[in-house]
Amino acid sequence: MRKNIVAGNWKMNTTLQEGVALAEEVNAAVKAAEHNCDVVICVPFTHLATISEKICKDSLGLGAENCADHKSGAYTGEVSAAMVASTGAGYVILGHSERRQYYGETSETLREKVALAFENNLTPIFCIGEVLEERENGTYFDVVKKQIVDALFHLSAEDFGKIILAYEPVWAIGTGKTATADQAEDMHAFIRGVIAEKYGKEVADNTSILYGGSCKPSNAKELFAKPDVDGGLIGGAALKCADFMGIVEAFN
């Protein structure tokens, strides 16, 4: 059966020193806390190797926020999936809306990134979600289905089964405007149906689908109580240990 997961996405925040201190604080808090979920932090590339040495990965997973769409070579400034894996990280966020919006990521490049993540035994946390206009004009189910179909439905059932999905409505990211628990559940149930149509009910039931977008201690419990919401991908609230733990402890 699918896992409950709370994953932090630190985005472009913290210096190395601040990041190491935060990771150590979170690691200690996770070990001490009662919770019934996997916990992961996804941090800037520059922090991975150092944090990897400082945390106990049995209790706290470590991931990158992106990886390159090429294996290696003349791609100045890029960081490959193999480089990420060589730090000891086990996860990589792919297709975050900020990468799609500001760095032109397409389903085509994301297919390459997913393949390279698998080659290097990284678990993709694959993000999907509609923008405000699509929410308002009612096309949001079609938009999210297309993102999944175009980037992931070439995969075998075995490979698809290794993906963690994160539904992040773009209008809820960093805005303080959370999707209601019912809005999240409607979309998560829809996504599970789309997966079931393609890969069957067992694969669909085993896929963890996280919610992301202004998730905080005060709304996490209600969101996570929904049957198809299997946890959260947390931005701003992942930068303060107490807030992040408030969300982790929503699973207890």
Q: Which residues bind ligand 13P (CB under 6 A)?
A: 9, 96, 168, 173-174, 212-215, 233-237
Query: Is 168 one of the annotated active-site residues of the chain?
Result: yes
Query: Exposed, middle or buried: residue 202 (CB in 10 Å: 0-12, 13-18, 19+)?
Result: exposed
Q: Which is nearer to ligand 13P, 237 or 250 (CB)?
A: 237
Our CB check for ligand 13P shows the closer of 139 and 175 to be: 175
Cα distances from 166 to residues 7, 71, 116, 224, in angstroms, run 10, 25, 19, 13
Please report how close the Cβ of residue 97 comes to ligand 13P at its closest, in angstroms.
7
Residue nearer to ligand 13P on the CB measure, 55 or 233: 233
Helix (H, G, I), strand (E, B) or coil at 161: coil
User: Which residue minimizes CB distance to ligand 13P?
Assistant: 235
Is 65 a residue of the active site? no
Q: Which of 35, 47, 65, 96 is catalytic?
A: 96
Residue 122 DSSP code: P
- Residue 54: exposure state from Cβ atoms within 10 A (0-12, 13-18, ≥19): middle
User: Rounded to the nearest whole angstrom, what is the least distance from the CB of residue 198 to ligand 13P in the complex?
Assistant: 25
Q: Among residues 130, 60, 61, 118, which one has the least CA distance to residue 94?
A: 118
Enzyme catalytic residues: 96, 168
